[in-house]
Amino acid sequence: GQNIDQPTEMTATEGAIVQINCTYQTSGFNGLFWYQQHAGEAPTFLSYNVLDGLEEKGRFSSFLSRSKGYSYLLLKELQMKDSASYLCAVRDSNYQLIWGAGTKLIIKP
Amino acid sequence: DTEVTQTPKHLVMGMTNKKSLKCEQHMGHRAMYWYKQKAKKPPELMFVYSYEKLSINESVPSRFSPECPNSSLLNLHLHALQPEDSALYLCASSPRELTNEQFFGPGTRLTVL
């Protein structure tokens, strides 16, 4: 079966750095996505990785290792507004998006 | 205009009611999606329309009926729903079906009594 694993919840301190991991087992791979979703709101696109390595976009970076079936989202200089759920999703060989359950990130002052 | 809009924001309906959810985008996107999301769960794909034709139906019960009147509009007609259908219904669009980023609307919070 297809499976995406990410931690259920993480807590970090304002101004710090946090890394949210995602591991996947899917039938084929055509890219990995990270979305941010604030409570009661729609998901918003953060990043897309299809090749191995690190993609940096401002305070957010995403890393992919296809051989390990592993990705992480790195958030730097955390702000209170970063408190949200972070969803990892993988596009499989049929180009279907398989979603992880999301990681709820709590930022404390 | 770079957003996806959905109406209504909230909907409460009985099991015998018929209602419709509406989604609109004016970004020229040719793929549109309906997702269902329960609390603390990821979005579940329901339907995909590509160039106004139904491309994917993820074995959704017939009490949910999608419609794509034109390239900017996507409707979801609801009839004889069950309480377990209560969820956040998200619409999304992308330039084409296989492009990378999907733009999500704010969702319709549906409660079935």
Question: Which residue did the predictor score with more confidence, B58 or A17?
Answer: A17
| Residue B32 near residue B93, CB atoms below 8 Å | yes
Whether the Cβ atoms of residue A23 and residue A69 lie closer than 8 Å to each other: yes
Beta carbon pairs, A and B, within 8 Å: 41
* Contact at CB, B100 and A96, closer than 8 angstroms: no
pLDDT of residue B58: 85
Beta strand pairing status for A84-91 and A97-99? antiparallel
**A102: contact with B, CB 8 A cutoff:** yes
Neighbours of A31 (CB within 10 A): 17
Contact between A19 and A74 (Cβ < 8 Å): yes
Average pLDDT over residues A13-36: 95
Do the strands B31-37 and B87-94 form a parallel or antiparallel pair, or are they unpaired? Answer: antiparallel
| pLDDT 10s digits, A66-109 | 999 999 999 999 999 999 999 999 998 887 888 999 999 999 99
Distance from CA of A54 to the nearest CA of B (A): 17
Residue B108 above 90 pLDDT? yes
Q: Which residue has the tokens 């301190």?
A: A13
> Residues B27-72: pLDDT tens digits?
999 999 999 999 888 899 999 999 999 988 888 999 999 999 999 9
Q: Say if residues B26 and B1 touch (Cβ distance below 8 Å).
A: yes
What is the side-by-side order of every strand in the sheet holding A18-25?
Answer: A3-5, A18-25, A70-75, A60-65, A53-57
The three-class DSSP label of residue A50 is coil
pLDDT tens-digit map of A52-68: 999 998 999 999 999 99
| Interface mutation target, options A24, A35, A50, chain B, most CBs of B under 10 Å | A35
Residue A89 exposed, middle or buried by CB count within 10 Å (0-12, 13-18, 19+): buried
Nearest CA in chain B to A34: B101
**H or E element that contains B5:** strand B4-7
How many angstroms away from the CA of B111 is the closest CA of chain A? Answer: 14
In angstroms, what separates the C-alpha of B93 from chain A's closest C-alpha?
12
pLDDT at A1: 73
